[in-house]
Structure 1
Amino acid sequence: MENEKYLNDITEIKNLMNKSSRFISLSGLSGILAGFYALIGAWLAYKTIYFDTSTMGAYRDLIISEAAVIRLLIIATSVLVLSIVTGIVLSISKARKSHENVWNTASKRLVINFMIPLATGGFFIIFLIEKDMLGLVAPLTLIFYGLACVNASKYTLGDVRYLGITMIALGLLSTWFLGYGLLFWALGFGGCHILYGSLMYFKYERK
């Protein structure tokens, strides 16, 4: 009986330590929605980049005009903003239900460690766009986002680390298939977000 009480005390202490060092109110549902936003964005990007040159649809020509690049940036920014807003709203809702302070030391560290690789990658990708090196944009967005997830994972749910590793692997793989960057982008930001978001939702949120 005393041993059982001792184990319960240890478990409670461990949970309290996790709550103080990790932001555990990250919403799996927000990951699922971010995945759907990304798939919609990928479809819009596909419609922007490609157009039929044959009535039979035998082949497609790639168009990367300045106007197309601007539209693609608008699409990417819209997907990013929607994903961030959804993540914040749902995570705040989850934190309130579990009586957790949203803006605490752990969440601040999470944001800082996530933004450092992400901002670095963002500036580098903007430079590549200016130099018309568009083929590397999709792989590098996956790689830097994956690095951001891995870097921030020590301050949130451990599943985020595996999401990051998967993103990095997809990004590296897509460098060998530069003509299929949009497909890899949709698979990573769309499919992986939906998969890992679903796993996190059923693992941590669904009662």
Structure 2
Amino acid sequence: MSSENYLKDISEIKHLMNKSSKFISLSGLSGILAGIYALIGASFAYWLVAQSERGYLILDGKVFRLILLDLILVGIFSIGTAIYLTTKKAKKNNQKIWDSLTRRLLTSFIVPLLAGAIYIIIILNQQRYGQTGALMLLFYGLALLSASKYTLGDVKYLGYTQIVIGLICAIFPGYGFWFWVLGFGIMHIVYGTVMYFKYDKK
């Protein structure tokens, strides 16, 4: 057996092992679109606050309810796009979209994210508003880090980035909106672009 064939066989074995132990059909394009949705949603929220009578956000007014709806819509569009594009890519790769591997991936992602969401709701009810942006970034980063062992290793770098941005945001809570834009908007676009050219455009 020539060295070229040997290396090819090793590469194929490695690919099959990764395919069986990791969910490799995440779409880079969904990351780009999630970032765009976040930027659009943030722009709308900024405009709402700027146009309000007070010029700043209070958490018991109409503007806050609209911003909350805006945030929910960003999440729905991002998740819906990710499901659609990931399902499409999984079919193209002949990979099952729902099996034990997918369940482990989702469990690892949802548990820290859900814990964070519940904690944020608790502190909002206690009228402690200053760290909301930082906590969203931190728990999202931890969720990505937790899920990364069941999917492409690049996901963990986005997780580390979100955690770092969240910690910096905690130090400067007055800039929470801009750190949120950086983490959920810009970093998603950067990450999605890297993933797209690295994995999707092959």
Alignment map for 1:14-53 (pairs within 5 Å): 14-51=14-51
2:41 counterpart letter in structure 1: G
Q: Give the alignment's TM-score, normalised by structure 2.
A: 0.94
**Equivalent in the alignment of 1:56:** none
Question: What is aligned with 2:65?
Answer: 70
Which stretches of structure 1, 4 residues or more, deviate above 6 A after TM superposition? Answer: none
Residues 63, 5 of structure 1: alpha-carbon distance in 2 compared, 3 angstrom cutoff: closer
What is the percent sequence identity of the aligned residues? 50
Match of 2:152 among 154, 157, 172: 157
Once the two structures are superposed, what CA deviation does each residue of 1:185-204 show, in whole Å capped at 9, x if it has no partner? Answer: 00100000000000000000
Gaps of 5+ in 2: none
**Root mean square deviation, CA, Å:** 1.5
Distance 1:7 1:31 in 2: 33
Distance 1:154 1:65 in 2: 38
CA offsets per residue over residues 12-39 of structure 1, 9 Å max, x none? 1111110011110000000000000000
CA distance in 2, matches of 1:183, 1:155: 31
Residues 82-133 of structure 1: per-residue CA shift (max 9 Å, x gap): 1000000000111111111111222211111000110000000011111121
Give 1:50 deviation, angstroms. 3.4
Of 183, 187, 190, which aligns to 2:178? 183
CA distance in 2 between partners of 1:65 and 1:123 (Å): 17
Q: State the 1:52 CA deviation.
A: 7.2
Q: Which has the larger displacement, 85-94 or 67-76? A: 67-76
Q: Displacement, 1:71?
A: 1.8
Please give the TM-score of this superposition, normalised by the length of structure 1.
0.92
| Match of residue 107, structure 1, among 81, 102, 108 | 102
- Cα distance, 1:51 vs. partner? 4.0
- Given that residues 21 and 105 in structure 1 are in contact (C-alpha distance below 8 angstroms), is that contact kept between their aligned partners in structure 2? no
